[in-house]
């Protein structure tokens, strides 16, 4: 098991100890506290866990009314067909979900969100997978910090794993099995540290892991670099900027980073789990 799953999955009485899960998160989300109550609609929320669900074939929707907290009827703007959207939120942990085949993307972190960890998820069958940052003009996303760890991107994930605007992304111990346009990319000078991931290039087509928008020979290089990654089947990574921009995790955020050669094993249980009530999960 990986460093997150060891924290709770070996407990045979896990179903009666579900609140302990909140102490198992790592990365920028840190440990989770303060139950925010029932329901799924959250505005400017913090300490949120999204865990153990499957979301697929999401469709774009026009504006409408929804039932919010305490039975209040609230207006909801148009939705573009994402599986999960994190907007203007902090301390969010998205763990062990299976996401695929949605109209727009599978996961967006935008609107000034910060301190987010995305772990143990299975992303598949999607053109644009993950977007970090609202748009090139949204400066509040400069405060964004996201850890992407122990996820599985396969099969048929074509680009945006993730695509980053501004902010800091630590992409670590993930499995990438093929892509069309690119695996990791960005614009607006984010800092991206790719560490101990396993990149398996497609049999044909583009084998370059990285993509940058708005970069030419006159541009100042932004920090986008690889440390201890594993490149298979001809995959390669173009680094720019100075190495050494570390995540600076505190004691509640830091975690053991495994070697890239065992990432296939560590991500083998990525996605929503099927657990028995009487056994370890």
More confident: 74 or 19 = 19
Confidence of residue 29 (pLDDT cuts 50, 70, 90): very high
Known catalytic residues are 160
What are the tens digits of pLDDT across the range 207-247? 999 999 877 666 677 899 999 999 999 999 999 887 778 89
Give 4's DSSP letter: T
Tell me the sheet residues that pair with 231: 199
How large a percentage of the chain has pLDDT more than 90? 72
Residue 161, judged by CB atoms within 10 A of its CB (0-12, 13-18, 19+), counts as: buried
**Which residue, 12, 20, 38, 270, is CA-closest to 154?**
270
Which CATH architecture fits 5-33+42-59+88-266? 3 Solenoid (2.160)
Q: CA 179, CA 199: separation in Å to the nearest integer?
A: 10
Q: Domain limits of the chain?
A: 5-33+42-59+88-266
Distance from the first to the final alpha carbon of the chain: 11
Q: Is the per-residue pLDDT at 32 higher than 80?
A: yes
* Strand ordering across the sheet containing 210-212: 84-87, 107-110, 130-132, 163-165, 184-187, 210-212
Confidence of residue 257 (pLDDT cuts 50, 70, 90): very high
Residue 35 has what pLDDT?
A: 58
């Amino acid at each position: 098991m990986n460093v997150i799953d060891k924290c709770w999955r070996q407990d045979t009485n896990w179903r009666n100890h579900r609140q302990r899960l909140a102490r198992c998160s790592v990365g920028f989300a840190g440990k989770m506290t303060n139950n925010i109550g029932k329901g799924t609609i959250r505005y400017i929320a913090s300490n949120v866990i999204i865990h153990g669900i499957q979301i697929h074939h999401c469709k774009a929707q026009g504006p409408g009314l929804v039932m919010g907290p305490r039975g209040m009827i609230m207006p909801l703007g148009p939705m573009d067909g994402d599986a999960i959207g994190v907007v203007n939120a902090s301390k969010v942990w998205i763990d062990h979900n299976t996401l695929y085949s949605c109209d727009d993307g599978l996961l967006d972190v935008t609107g000034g969100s910060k301190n987010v960890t995305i772990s143990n998820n299975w992303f598949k069958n999607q053109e644009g997978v993950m977007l970090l940052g609202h748009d090139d003009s949204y400066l509040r996303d400069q405060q964004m910090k996201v850890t992407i760890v122990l996820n599985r991107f396969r099969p048929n994930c074509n680009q945006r794993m993730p695509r980053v605007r501004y902010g800091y992304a630590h992409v670590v111990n993930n499995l990438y099995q093929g892509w069309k346009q690119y695996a990791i990319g960005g614009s607006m000078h984010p800092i991206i540290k790719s560490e101990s991931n396993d990149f398996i290039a497609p049999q044909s087509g583009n084998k370059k892991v990285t993509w940058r928008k708005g970069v030419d020979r006159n541009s100042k290089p932004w920090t986008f670099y690889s440390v201890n990654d594993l490149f298979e089947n001809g995959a390669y990574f173009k680094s720019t900027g100075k190495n050494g921009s570390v995540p600076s995790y505190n004691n509640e955020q830091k975690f053991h980073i495994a070697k890239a050669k065992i990432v296939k094993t560590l991500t083998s249980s990525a996605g929503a789990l099927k657990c028995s009530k009487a056994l370890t999960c």
